[in-house]
Amino acid sequence: MNHQWSKARTGPAEARAFAITPPQIVGPFYPITECPDLASDLARPSGSTAEAQGQLIYVSGRVLASSGAPVPQARIDIWQANAAGKYRHPSDTNRAPLDPNFKGFARLTTDTSGRYSFRTIKPGAYPTPEGDIRPPHIHMSVEGRFDRLVTQLYFAGEAENLTDRWLNAAPHPERLIITLQEPASRLEGCALAAHFDIILASG
Ligand SMILES: [Fe+2]
């Protein structure tokens, strides 16, 4: 549930303002050696028909200003672990294997309505050097014309969501949790879909 809103205190009586998406830390695994995939598809290497391992998912939504106005041409960087919980990053000491078909880094641009979508696999949970188990999550950095937000989205039903200190440090953790569902129209195979709107303070 990420698109909560409340009535604005100023402006027209019917004007509505959306609650800003809670920020999260960048974390240690922002890609430094990889080029982003610009095709909105993290689950398949560019120019290949091979598929990454894991549950295929589609994530889509809109980038909006808190006024409700869409943010066109916003840049969204996405990075995440593979299905085994491993980042393709030199700082990741997790012993889980890399997936040769999963790079885990993409860059999107919203359309004129602020819409975005991408195809990926559900990431795995992973241990941190401090002994935490991080629940499955996807990192996102969203840059509009006037504002930038770094956050993480999480998946409903994960036991580690209840104990993850980064998720639970958010003022409204529930706004960062998406629910995977059967798509309204069959996408492909066993793919699941989820919706995640991202609200910036200003466009
Ligand atoms: Fe992470």
Q: Give the model confidence (pLDDT) of 100-142 as tens digits.
A: 999 999 999 999 999 999 999 999 999 998 999 999 999 999 9
User: How large is the average pLDDT for residues 83-98?
Assistant: 96
Ion ligand 1 — residues with CB < 5 Å: 27
- Please enumerate in sequence order all residues whose Cβ is within 8 A of that of 138, keeping only pairs 6 or more positions apart, or say none: 59, 78, 79, 80, 120, 123, 152, 153
Q: Give counts: helices (H), strands (E), the chain.
A: 1, 13
Largest CA distance in the chain: 56
Catalytic residue, candidates 87, 88, 107, 154:
87
| Single pTM value for the model | 0.90
Is residue 165 among the annotated active site residues? no
pLDDT score at 187: 65
Q: Quote the ligand 1 centre to 27 CA distance (angstroms).
A: 6
Active site residue 154: no
- Which residues are CB-contacts of 2 (< 8 A; sequence separation ≥ 6)? 21, 61, 153, 174, 175, 176, 177, 178, 195, 196, 197, 198
Under 8 Å between Cβ of 77 and 141: yes
Residues 6+ apart with CB under 8 A from 84: 53, 96, 97, 99, 124
**Helix residue spans in 137-190 (DSSP H):** 165-168
> How many domains would you assign to the chain?
1
Active-site position among 44, 89, 139, 175: 139
Residues 40-82 pLDDT 10s: 999 998 888 899 999 999 999 999 999 999 999 999 999 999 9
- Tokens read off for 55: 């549950």
- Active-site choice (119, 134, 154, 175): 134
Q: Quick check: is 126 catalytic?
A: yes
Identify the band that residue 10 occupies on the pLDDT scale cut at 50, 70 and 90. very low
CATH number at residue 183: 2.60.130.10
Q: Which residues constitute the domain of residue 132?
A: 5-200
Neighbours of 106 (CB within 10 A): 23
For residue 27, the tally of other CB atoms under 10 A from its CB is 17
**From the CA of 126, how far away is ligand 1's center (Å)?**
8
Confidence of residue 9 (pLDDT cuts 50, 70, 90): very low
